[in-house]
Amino acid sequence: MDLNDTPEQAAYRARARAWLQENRAQAPVLSGPGALTEEAEIIAARRKWQGRLAEGGLAGVTWPEDYGGQGLGPVEQVIAGQEISRAGVPGILDAIGVGMLGPTIIAHGSEEQKARYLGPMLHGEEVWCQLFSEPAAGSDLAAIQTRARRAEDGSWVLSGQKVWTTNAQFASFGLLLARTDPDVPKHNGLTMFVVPMDAPGVTVRGLRQISGEAEFNEVFFDEVHLPADADVGGVGNGWRTALTTLMFERVTIGLGGEGLGYDPLRFARALLAAGAQRDPLVRKRLGEIAAELTAVRFTGYRVLTALQQGQIPGPEAGLAKVTTVNSAIAAGDLIAEVLGPDALASESEWAYMISFLPGLKSAGGTEEILRNTIGERVLGLPAEPRLDKGVPFSELRAKETAAQ
């Protein structure tokens, strides 16, 4: 644990542990004997379980009490995660909604939006998705082309395409970044919207991954009508609103192995069970992985301390993400070398981690982009050259072509 709980935090941990002890029999079984197999059944069971976790005070831990949360700090949120993983039960289904989009609505949404959306989101009654990335706008998110135009009556008409949208296949709503003014520099003409995923003109198409899952999707918008008050945070303020979401995303992923469950002891147990501890090279590689993950865990605690004191964490959360993902990939490679093809068999506890992790290199900021940020903001290296400063979005293509 190593969190040095204060007496209040220790009391919260004890309450969380007792609640989980009492309620764990209600948790859906997702692996091993008796595991649910049908996707629809799994989603329904996980939504219900999220509702129970919210009632037990283990979801929305940092959300204000007015919106159903616990009004506690990020340390208590980590404590809840630790206790959930200790109890061996699944966490919440809608980590994107509760961890990133809900806090964005809390920070920038209208009172009506907060009252309408936050409760059902927290209790898993309505799952949300993040409609940011597009085929030509991932790392360069401000280059998005999905357009929202004002109709004469003040409502909006949305057209365009998003990609990599996790959970869109069962989401009720999405938080979507759209271009509302192409005639100003690209960061200025953006607006964030709430989009009902069952609105006429929304089409969701699944993308199957190497892990066999189809967790994310392409989403198409064909003249989708949105009400005049569907914007979150004001027209033209989309970039500011998006930065709030991205900050919560970095922090969620940047807290590292803690949140994602990449525990060096778990890796060591697998290697021990295969008798590989006799090989000095295996021991050396495991030692390196354990050292990196332990260091990143304490970096995560520094991020937590900053958050707990009301500060905004710096680029170190990005550094933690890069290190966590690379160390977990190194652990997956080592386990695959020791176990051989069995590591990727469908019943192997490692198959999902090994095939999913390369994708996590891109999710929440790619390694190259995070390294650029660390280079510029931590090491003080010169910034990348930029062609887009002060240029209206509608003139950018011509400027880029002229520069080639």
* Smaller CB separation from ligand FAD, 174 or 264: 174
Tokens at 74, concatenated:
């990020």
Member of 326, 366, 373, 394 binding ligand FAD (CB under 6 A): 366
x/- letters, 164..183, toward ligand FAD (CB under 6 A): xxx-----------------
Give the closest residue to 50 by CA, choosing from 84, 14, 79, 12.
Answer: 84
* Smaller CB separation from ligand FAD, 143 or 344: 143
Tokens at 84, concatenated:
């959930």
Q: Does the protein bind ligand FAD through residue 196 (CB under 6 A)?
A: no
Cα–Cα distance for residue pair 71/175, rounded to 1 Å: 23
Q: At what angle do helices 7-23 and 74-87 cross, to 10 degrees?
A: 30
Sequence-ordered alpha helix ranges (H) in 88-188: 95-96, 102-108, 111-122
Least separation in angstroms between residue 133's CB and ligand FAD is 3
Burial class (CB in 10 A: 0-12, 13-18, 19+), 284: exposed
Q: Is 249 a catalytic residue?
A: yes
Member of 12, 49, 117, 132 binding ligand FAD (CB under 6 A): 132
Q: Does the protein bind ligand FAD through residue 369 (CB under 6 A)?
A: yes
Q: Indicate which residue of 76, 249, 292, 316 is catalytic.
A: 249
Least separation in angstroms between residue 231's CB and ligand FAD is 18
Q: Does the protein bind ligand FAD through residue 363 (CB under 6 A)?
A: yes
Go through the chain and tell me how many residues it has: 404
Window 140 to 169, contacts with ligand FAD (CB under 6 A): 164-166
x/- letters, 371..390, toward ligand FAD (CB under 6 A): -x-----------x------
The DSSP-derived string for 311-357 is PPP-THHHHHHHHHHHHHHHHHHHHHHHHGGGGGSTT-TTHHHHHHH
Cα–Cα distance for residue pair 138/327, rounded to 1 Å: 24
Which residues here bind ligand FAD, judged by CB under 6 A?
Answer: 96, 129-130, 132-133, 138-139, 164-166, 216, 359, 362-363, 366, 368-369, 372, 384
Catalytic residues, by residue number, are 249
